[in-house]
Amino acid sequence: MSNIGVVKQALTAVTQSKKIADLQKVTVTPENSLKGQTHTTDHGVPIRDTDNWLKVTDGSGTGPSLLEDQIAREKIHRFDHERIPERVVHARGTGAHGVFKVYDDKALKYTTAGVLTDSSRSTPTFVRFSTVQGSRGSADTVRDVRGFAVKLYTDEGNWDLVGNDIPVFFIQDAIKFPDIIHAVKPEPKNEVPQGQSAHNNFWDFVGLQPESAHMVMWAMSDRGIPRSYRMMQGFGVNTFTLNNSKGERFFVKFHWIPELGVHSLMWDEALKICGQDPDFHRKDLEEAISTGAYPKWFFGIQVIPEANENDFDFDILDATKVWPEELVPLEIIGEMTLNRMVDEYFPEVEQVAFCTSHVVPGIGFSDDPLLQGRNFSYFDTQISRLGINWEELPINRPVCPVMNTHRDGQMRHRITDSSVNYWPNRKDHYRPVPKEHDGYHEFAQKVQGIKQRVRGAKFQEHYNQAQFFYNSLTPVEKEHLVSAISFELSHCDDPVVYETYTKLLNNIDFELATKVAQNVGGVVPTSPGRPNHGKSTPTLSQFYYAPKEPTIKSRRIAILVADGFDQAQVQAIRAALKVGSATTWLIGPRRGSVYPKGVDFGDGKHGVSTDHHWEGQRSTLFDALVIPGGAKHAQALANSGRVNHWVREAFGHCKTIGAIGEGAVFLREAAQLPGIEYATNLNSDIVVSSYGVVTVGKIDLGTVAADTLKINQED
């Protein structure tokens, strides 16, 4: 068994929950019991041969295949029907199991929901992360919004909190959802592009629908290219409500904040990873969970008492607006940890189905017009994807009792042994919960008005918060935003589209509009479209979420080696990084044995196995890089064009690079990282230079003839 396998087995014990126990009832074939089991048909008949179709043959082994072969027919027919419709949005994703806990009962003043107030509970959860635009087989690291959908299997039923990694949405009213999605999806004429919003139709739509301006800023910021699903925030986005035992109602927004901080890829990295490892985020989640680096999020709520609904200059029911934390503080009340990957993708990740309308007692909806429409849409889409009995599927069914008069329909699994299937009935089956007890009840909201297709007055303002977000970014985040919008608009070839959008940008910020317009040939403004209000907050920049103590937990660190590397140094580095819970990966000239300093090449005994060949895994797939000493090894690195590119690329992506002795000479003389100071002798033990390049002069670097390290000019 591999190391990861051993760790996985050891971790299984701590990842049990009511939901896992429930799923194990249908996990009929745990992997360790499969060995040696007999192959059967679906109707259970053991079969002797699953490799050859029944034929009429004269003994030569060839001849026409017979349709009467029910075993072959079953195999092919099952296969023909393996696919179900992919999700109309968020088709590409991955998922994991976990647990949710609250710290105390502080939220009792807002809600009766046990899941939010009972600290003795460990509520099982399943989370599905996703991209939005691409189809099921698209790449993970595209620029896009990320879905963050959480199913909480509470004692009072399932609560689905179906959010994103961005706190606002493109549109205010659900009736516009088909328009925004048609616009962003591949164009109808040619079905391009895949996994991209960089095309005419998306920018055409958002240019004409300015309520999207705020979310476009977020999506084009570094939030659109997360480093990992584990390193992004999650937001319920819509305004929900909480009800307490006194009959009071509060408006609420839900937040997830990652323990590891919010981190992004560089755009150049993201583009390359799309090709080098399209499953980068899926694998990242699996690697973290299987090595015990369980991803964790803190859970927070922003709460507004009903009486204060109208106290703000924005409408708190408008999903294109955040509630600034300076106005509505974030209260952290719990946490969620993901601790178990799925056993099989399809029945768990593909069949999991979320509905915003699934809430539990103590939680309710608001008149947020986006949420109201979502509450219709999700149930409907699950019927078309999975059929009317989708809630009976193992991953979707609650861990508390389910009992009602719903019956029949395709793929019904439950058998209810009752002679009545209606209420009221003479047998007193399916009695609703008495009023004085628990059970879901709607808040008695007074509603009166005129039927109209309209939006509230405050819904008409679209730029204040887009500007607020832009103002809150650090200079480097602003630079990335300019580059991102420029990339996207450069992919639009209709001048009407990029001219319209650059004009719109001038309503957000003059400098932003000018830079983008100059880059893409848009309309360069001569004066601001509207004044910049100058307001900002630290809480919108992703730097705000850096962990209090810097951590390398679960980071992937490459150690570049060639024959002749210093093994003692590598062992020391690996041990030190393991203490910080990082993973280390030896990258060498070949996957197989590489021979350390002082050992004969190919001696058959002292080789060290590398994890990857340096062509096989590029620097983009790692967070940092270490180059140990060893003269012969450093020379070999210097001679490889690929290695030089590897190291320069890591440097270009601002990755931390460490080098020791001859490794540092290689950096200085061959890779020639610009503007860096290096350790040059034994006395300058360690030099931390700009851009996170750290060199250690364990040896007198002066003794290594610099000019013996030459760059291979092929690269």
Residue numbers belonging to the annotated binding site: 378
Cα separation, 550 vs 252, whole angstroms: 31
Question: Which CB, 183 or 679, lies closer to ligand HDD?
Answer: 183
Query: Least distance from C-beta 562 to ligand HDD, angstroms?
Result: 44
Cα separation, 695 vs 708, whole angstroms: 19
Question: Which CB, 164 or 506, lies closer to ligand HDD?
Answer: 164
Helix, strand or coil, per DSSP, at residue 538: helix
- For position 149 contacting ligand HDD by CB under 6 A, the verdict is yes
Question: Which CB, 54 or 383, lies closer to ligand HDD?
Answer: 383
Q: Which of 17, 212, 238, 302 binds ligand HDD (CB under 6 A)?
A: 238
Burial of 310 (0-12, 13-18, 19+ CB in 10 A): exposed
- For position 130 contacting ligand HDD by CB under 6 A, the verdict is yes
Q: Is 164 annotated in the active site?
A: yes
Query: Least distance from C-beta 238 to ligand HDD, angstroms?
Result: 5
Query: What is the distance, to the nearest Å, from the Cα of residue 63 to the centroid of all Cα atoms in its chain?
Result: 52
Query: Least distance from C-beta 219 to ligand HDD, angstroms?
Result: 12
Query: Least distance from C-beta 181 to ligand HDD, angstroms?
Result: 8
Q: Segment contacting ligand HDD (CB under 6 A): 207-215, 372-380, 448-456, 462-470?
A: 372-380
Residues 377-416 that bind ligand HDD (CB under 6 A): 377-378, 381
Quick one: three-class SS letters along 673-712?
CCCCCCCCCCCCCEEECHHHEEEECCCCHHHCCHHHCCCC
Query: Least distance from C-beta 307 to ligand HDD, angstroms?
Result: 25
> Could you count the other beta carbons within 10 Å of the beta carbon of residue 514?
19
Rounded to 5 degrees, what angle do the CA atoms 54, 60, 61 make? Answer: 25
Instruction: Retrieve residue 491's tokens.
Output: 């992919």
Q: Is 90 annotated in the active site?
A: yes
Question: Which CB, 162 or 484, lies closer to ligand HDD?
Answer: 162
- For position 174 contacting ligand HDD by CB under 6 A, the verdict is yes
Query: Least distance from C-beta 536 to ligand HDD, angstroms?
Result: 24
Instruction: Retrieve residue 153's tokens.
Output: 């299997």
Cα separation, 560 vs 629, whole angstroms: 10
Query: Least distance from C-beta 233 to ligand HDD, angstroms?
Result: 12
Cα separation, 243 vs 443, whole angstroms: 7
Residue labelled with tokens 């970014």? 473
DSSP state of 12: H
Reported as type and span, the H/E element at residue 286 is: helix 280-290
**Amino acid letter, residue 227:** R
- For position 237 contacting ligand HDD by CB under 6 A, the verdict is yes
- Cβ proximity of 371 and 238 under 8 Å: yes
Q: Which of 107, 370, 482, 625 binds ligand HDD (CB under 6 A)?
A: 370
Q: One symbol per residue from 273 to 312: x for binding ligand HDD (CB under 6 A), - otherwise; what is it?
A: ----------------------------------------
**Amino acid letter, residue 580:** G
Question: Which CB, 96 or 631, lies closer to ligand HDD?
Answer: 96
> How many residues belong to the chain?
715
Query: Least distance from C-beta 358 to ligand HDD, angstroms?
Result: 12
- For position 92 contacting ligand HDD by CB under 6 A, the verdict is no
Residues at the binding site for heme are 378
- For position 164 contacting ligand HDD by CB under 6 A, the verdict is yes
Q: Segment contacting ligand HDD (CB under 6 A): 67-75, 82-90, 135-143, 327-335?
A: 82-90
Residue labelled with tokens 């998306």? 202
Active-site annotation holder among 3, 43, 77, 90: 90
> Could you count the other beta carbons within 10 Å of the beta carbon of residue 658?
23
- For position 93 contacting ligand HDD by CB under 6 A, the verdict is yes
Comparing CA positions, the residue from 405, 385, 407 lying closest to residue 396 is 385
- Cβ proximity of 205 and 121 under 8 Å: no
Q: Which of 7, 88, 330, 608 binds ligand HDD (CB under 6 A)?
A: 88
- Cβ proximity of 306 and 349 under 8 Å: no
- For position 354 contacting ligand HDD by CB under 6 A, the verdict is yes
- For position 177 contacting ligand HDD by CB under 6 A, the verdict is yes
Query: Least distance from C-beta 321 to ligand HDD, angstroms?
Result: 12
Comparing CA positions, the residue from 115, 97, 79, 87 lying closest to residue 18 is 97
Q: Which of 19, 92, 97, 128 binds ligand HDD (CB under 6 A)?
A: 128
Query: Least distance from C-beta 215 to ligand HDD, angstroms?
Result: 9
Q: Which of 292, 347, 373, 652 binds ligand HDD (CB under 6 A)?
A: 373
Question: Which CB, 378 or 487, lies closer to ligand HDD?
Answer: 378
Question: Which CB, 91 or 693, lies closer to ligand HDD?
Answer: 91
- For position 125 contacting ligand HDD by CB under 6 A, the verdict is no
Rounded to 10 degrees, the C-alpha dihedral 523/526/531/534 comes to 90
- For position 90 contacting ligand HDD by CB under 6 A, the verdict is yes
Residue labelled with tokens 């969970």? 289
Query: Least distance from C-beta 357 to ligand HDD, angstroms?
Result: 11
Cα separation, 337 vs 156, whole angstroms: 21
Please provide the DSSP assignment of 325-360 as one string.
Answer: TTTS-EEEEEEEEEEEE-S-HIIIIIT----TT---
Q: Which of 153, 169, 251, 390 binds ligand HDD (CB under 6 A)?
A: 169
Which residue's C-beta sits nearest to ligand HDD? Answer: 147
Residues that bind ligand HDD (rule: CB under 6 A) add up to a total of 26
Helix, strand or coil, per DSSP, at residue 150: strand
List the beta bridge partners of residue 299: 256, 334
Comparing CA positions, the residue from 281, 282, 279, 283 lying closest to residue 264 is 281
Active-site annotation holder among 97, 158, 164, 633: 164
Q: Segment contacting ligand HDD (CB under 6 A): 199-207, 268-276, 369-377, 692-700?
A: 369-377
Comparing CA positions, the residue from 529, 530, 505, 504 lying closest to residue 515 is 505
Q: Segment contacting ligand HDD (CB under 6 A): 63-71, 158-166, 216-224, 397-405?
A: 158-166
3-state helix, strand, coil in the chain (%, to 5): 35, 15, 50
Residue labelled with tokens 């962003």? 184
Rg (CA), the chain: 29
Q: Segment contacting ligand HDD (CB under 6 A): 83-91, 469-477, 498-506, 525-533?
A: 83-91
Question: Which CB, 54 or 88, lies closer to ligand HDD?
Answer: 88
Question: Which CB, 285 or 370, lies closer to ligand HDD?
Answer: 370
- For position 627 contacting ligand HDD by CB under 6 A, the verdict is no
- For position 679 contacting ligand HDD by CB under 6 A, the verdict is no
Buried b (16+ CB within 10 A) or exposed e, 46-77: eeeeeeeeeeeeeeeeeeeeeeeeebbeebee
What is the contact surface with ligand HDD in residues (CB under 6 A)? 87-90, 93, 128, 130, 147, 149, 162-164, 169, 174, 177, 237-238, 319, 353-354, 370, 373-374, 377-378, 381
Active centre residues (catalytic): 90, 164
